[in-house]
Structure 1
Amino acid sequence: MTPDALGIVEARNRLGTLVARAVHGHQVTRITRSADERAVLISEADYEELLRARHELEAARVAAAVAAHERGEREMMTYDSKAALYAALDLPASGDGERS
């Protein structure tokens, strides 16, 4: 556990304060349950901003792929599914907790 991370029990005990810090102070809290189970508490506004940034990055990658195709630098491909397209463009799988 890193010094700035809280265990899940301590986070549960301080949840009201942690939520207030996230919402009003935009402070991030890392929470650990085990070495493999970690989460981050952020405000909804910060989460929405992250989603917007992710969407912009994905759109830029798709636009770059289209431009490369138009310049003859990328072959036109067809895909059996949206998941296969995302994988080919090295994008995170669609529908993993974000809005469309």
Structure 2
Amino acid sequence: MATTDPLGIAEARSQLGTLVARAVHGHQPTTIRRSTTERAVLISEDDYEELLRARRELEAGHVAEAIAAHDRGERETVTYDDRAALYADLGLPTPGERS
């Protein structure tokens, strides 16, 4: 679970070693704020890779459902001019974009 209150950058910097150890060994994420609207989360590399795997599985499920809907005649065949249009139609972020 993330720390209750986000840490400011200066505070996070002064505790960075401890925060990294908590993320790596305790799988405890820490939210760090730069401003009221800019925040980031410090997590372990293993947790990050797990999130990426889960995202890929979710996206693959969306694509598989779209294919199944087409096979059932519930979705027509569409030609796309570019990758962004395809991803938008599937309700997915274009690779490299935030979701």
TM-score (norm 1): 0.90
Structure-2 residue corresponding to 1:55: 56
Question: How far is the alpha carbon of 1:4 from its aligned partner?
Answer: 2.3
Tell me how many residue pairs correspond in the alignment.
96
- Tell me how far apart the structure 1 counterparts of residues 37 and 5 of structure 2 sit (CA, whole Å): 17
- Tell me how far apart the structure 1 counterparts of residues 96 and 65 of structure 2 sit (CA, whole Å): 22
- Tell me how far apart the structure 2 counterparts of residues 37 and 21 of structure 1 sit (CA, whole Å): 22
Q: How does 1:32-43 map to 2 (within 5 A)?
A: 32-43=33-44
Unaligned runs of 5+ in 1: none
- Tell me how far apart the structure 2 counterparts of residues 82 and 74 of structure 1 sit (CA, whole Å): 19
- Tell me how far apart the structure 2 counterparts of residues 94 and 42 of structure 1 sit (CA, whole Å): 21
- What letter matches 1:42 in structure 2? I
Percent identity reads 72
Unaligned runs of 5+ in 2: none
Pair 1:68 & 2:52 matched:
no
TM-score (norm 2): 0.91
Structure-2 residue corresponding to 1:82: 83
Question: How far is the alpha carbon of 1:90 from its aligned partner?
Answer: 0.7
